[in-house]
Amino acid sequence: MSILGIDVGGSGIKGAPVDTDSGRLLAERLRIPTPRGGRPADVAEVIARMAEHFDWQGSIGCALPAVVKNSVTLTAANIHDDWIGCDAGALIGRATGCPVSLINDADAAGLAEMRFGAGRDQPGVVIVLTVGTGIGSAVFVDGKLVPNTEFGRLEVRGKEAEARASDRVRKDKDWSWERWAERFGECLGSLESLFWPDLFIVGGGVSKKHDRWGPHLDVRTRVVPAALLNEAGIVGAAMAARR
Ligand code: BGC
């Protein structure tokens, strides 16, 4: 089945038609910068342009950096506060004229990783973390998603995990990979003591550098990098729309 997958981020909005059976993109991915301020109406307009670009009339799956319940966005990270309490599903539906289903961006990336990437056939409790500007999370129990976890908000030594160990923090502080691994490892350690997962999958920009930070982690759980890199959000958004 083909569904238009869209991944809304603080700096860019990416989209492509996805074959949800294979996880493959059916056309080259399009990226349009997020309109300044990231207001709902402006983002919806960009998504409508994207649907037009792909000449799309079918279902759309859209991933957002927000907690999403019943197509309403309940939080907003790196996008405008007007998303809080916004019926984003209805807004994007009106703008595109297509049926739209919404999902948190890390949950979307997690769905794609579990089906087509590093989490394939992984039983038990798997925690997927996406590390970029923020830290997003997705939890799977025997392959089934527990939606809307926000582990980036977990307090670690008096500070949110996201403020302690996101990739933005690493870049801002100009930390070595070893130094970042130490901070990130503390966050994994806290999650470990609460959830005792069987596997951590780490996605986002840092996943490409796993060989630099992986060896410096001091945690008991197996930690593997995500396999799908840039496309996980788009693919997962489309998969969620299919469900
Ligand atoms: C948000 C999450 C989101 C993550 C990754 C966090 O700041 O709270 O909802 O999944 O960033 O974009």
Q: Which atom of ligand 1 is nearest to the CA of 104?
A: 10
Residue 200 and residue 238 in one domain: no
- Which long-range CB contacts under 8 A does 85-90 form with residues at least 24 apart? 86/40, 88/40, 88/44, 88/62, 88/64
79 vs 195: CA distance, rounded Å? 30
Residue 170 and residue 88 in one domain: no
pLDDT of residue 229: 80
Q: Using CA positions, which residue lies closest to atom 11 of ligand 1? A: 134
Residue 8 and residue 88 in one domain: yes
pLDDT of residue 73: 98
pLDDT of residue 230: 84
Which residues line ligand 1 at a C-beta cut-off of 6 Å?
65-66, 75, 77, 104-106, 130, 134, 136, 150, 152, 162
Q: State in Å: Cα 150 to ligand 1 middle.
A: 7
Residue 80 and residue 96 in one domain: yes
DSSP reduced 3-state for 161? helix
Q: Which atom of ligand 1 is nearest to the CA of 77?
A: 7
Q: Using CA positions, which residue lies closest to atom 12 of ligand 1? A: 65
Residue 151 and residue 134 in one domain: yes
Give residue-wise pLDDT tens across range 208-239: 999 999 999 999 999 999 999 889 999 999 99
204 vs 181: CA distance, rounded Å? 15
Domain range for residue 165? 121-226
Residue 203 and residue 235 in one domain: no
Sequence letter at residue 97: G
Within the chain, which residues score under 70 in pLDDT? none
Asked if residues 137 and 127 have their Cβ atoms less than 8 Å apart, the reply is yes
The number of distinct structural domains making up the chain is 2
Residue 237 and residue 212 in one domain: no
Q: What is the CATH number of the domain that holds 135?
A: 3.30.420.40
Q: State in Å: Cα 229 to ligand 1 middle.
A: 17
Q: State in Å: Cα 52 to ligand 1 middle.
A: 28
Residue 100 and residue 130 in one domain: no
